[in-house]
Amino acid sequence: MSATLADIARATGSSISTVSRVLSNSPAANRISRETRIKIAQAAEQLGYRPNLLARSLRTRKTNTVAVMVSDIANPWFGRMASLIEQNLHRRGYSLIVCNSGEQAELEQEYLRLLPQKGIDGLIVVPITTDREKLCHHLPPGLALVVLDRPVEGVPASVSTDQQQAATLLCRELERIGARRVALVRGPEHVSTHRMRGEAVKRHFDVLVDHVGAAQLETGHAAWSEIARTSPDAIVCTNNFLGQGLMEAMAQSNSRLPIGCFDEITALDLLSVPLVSCVQNVPLMAERAVEMLLCQLQGRKLPAEQKISAQVVSNREFKALFPR
């Protein structure tokens, strides 16, 4: 076990409180004689003292830790997001713990209950549930909360992409190349991003095939075997995993159907299919989310809900086939 305040007090012949004052450099630390201060510091150094953060937090009710709960850490999009949030927070003296709800409502609930018990000051969450009540039920009232990527009615601190703008951008690009009838591969209805993207597609196009499933590669695979029997002008996928899965399956055939995909696809320009992708501004989202969290932690005024705009990027194949 690590040395405690008591150990140091004993070693230096001072009292626990004095040691505490010095080592936690509290405001009262200045009012302590230079000599005892360095004597204590030396002893601490020598004994390898590490404050027990559990005990400290129990006492102060602050942990200097925030959690981010993402819906699928295996998805590179969330990985990037987590990484950027970590960097932003670390710069501000907070440490981050990442939780993975794996897109399972029960697991989300479990973590929502567990995290406050373990002690966190704030939470950034990509929620599964769309219900404010369910989301906040187990959270202590004071907890700083930011919802990310998927706004929840009634939660003021919210950072997300403007899905209307994003979807319009993508659909316009597909309309430009003459698409009228499309196949749609989309994630679960109850996830707002997938739903809004899907709805936008339905507004713009005649949807020949509407394949719904978990936002995983496998759904993309399955979708292709359904789509292959039809002949749409293009295929739209509501996220990167769906797009990747679809393309993996397509690769077995020789289809060159144009694809519109929400979220980033790696090595875009190396793909042999024409692809236009609608990418979100992940770094900006991460920054804003941390900012909104810190506003709450520091009692500053919360800025308005953040709607961040997206961009479309098309690959070489796409540009070659459909020049402007």
Partner DNA sequence: TTGTACGCGTTATCAG
Partner DNA sequence: CTGATAACGCGTACAA
The single residue among 7, 29, 76, 212 that binds a copy of itself, judged by CB under 8 A, is: 76
For position 73 contacting a copy of itself by CB under 8 A, the verdict is yes
Yes or no: say if 30 and 36 are a contact pair by the CB < 8 Å rule: no
Yes or no: say if 116 and 61 are a contact pair by the CB < 8 Å rule: no
Question: What is d(CA 204, CA 180) in angstroms, rounded to the nearest whole number?
Answer: 8
| Radius of gyration, alpha carbons of the chain | 26
For position 74 contacting a copy of itself by CB under 8 A, the verdict is yes
The single residue among 123, 191, 268, 292 that binds a copy of itself, judged by CB under 8 A, is: 268
The residue count for the chain: 324
98: partner contacted, choices DNA, a copy of itself, none (Cβ within 5-8 A by kind): a copy of itself
Residue type, position 235, single letter:
I
Using the contact rule CB under 8 A, the part of the chain among 53-61, 123-131, 159-167, 207-215 near a copy of itself is 53-61
89: partner contacted, choices a copy of itself, DNA, none (Cβ within 5-8 A by kind): none
Name the CA dihedral angle for 142, 147, 152, 153, rounded to a multiple of 10 degrees.
Answer: 50
For position 26 contacting DNA by CB under 7 A, the verdict is yes
**Whole-Å CA distances, 221 to 81, 183, 230, 315:** 26, 14, 15, 22
Yes or no: say if 164 and 199 are a contact pair by the CB < 8 Å rule: no
100: partner contacted, choices a copy of itself, DNA, none (Cβ within 5-8 A by kind): a copy of itself
Q: How many positions of this chain bind DNA (CB under 7 A)?
A: 32
Yes or no: say if 127 and 115 are a contact pair by the CB < 8 Å rule: no
Report in angstroms how near the CB of residue 58 gets to a copy of itself at its nearest: 5
Phi and psi at residue 17, to the nearest 5°: -65, -40
DSSP state letter for 160 = E
The single residue among 4, 83, 130, 168 that binds DNA, judged by CB under 7 A, is: 4
Binding mask 182-201 for DNA (x = CB under 7 A): --------------------
Yes or no: say if 97 and 40 are a contact pair by the CB < 8 Å rule: no
Task: Give SS3 for 154.
Answer: coil
For position 250 contacting DNA by CB under 7 A, the verdict is no
| Contacts of DNA in 32-71 (CB under 7 A) | 32-33, 35-37, 49-52, 55-56, 58-60
18: partner contacted, choices DNA, a copy of itself, none (Cβ within 5-8 A by kind): DNA
For position 131 contacting a copy of itself by CB under 8 A, the verdict is no
Nearest to 317, CA basis, from 275, 265, 266, 264: 275
What are the tokens at 139? 């959270």
Residue type, position 300, single letter:
R
Question: What is d(CA 160, CA 81) in angstroms, rounded to the nearest whole number?
Answer: 12
| Contacts of a copy of itself in 278-307 (CB under 8 A) | none
Cβ burial, residue 7 (10 Å; 0-12/13-18/19+) = middle
Using the contact rule CB under 7 A, the part of the chain among 22-30, 65-73, 86-94, 294-302 near DNA is 22-30
Interface with DNA by CB under 7 A: which residues? 1-2, 4-6, 13-18, 20-21, 23-24, 26, 28, 31-33, 35-37, 49-52, 55-56, 58-60
Interface with a copy of itself by CB under 8 A: which residues? 1-2, 50-55, 57-58, 63, 65, 67, 72-76, 78-80, 82-84, 86-87, 90, 95-100, 102, 107, 111, 113-114, 116-119, 138, 140, 244, 247-248, 250-252, 265-273, 316
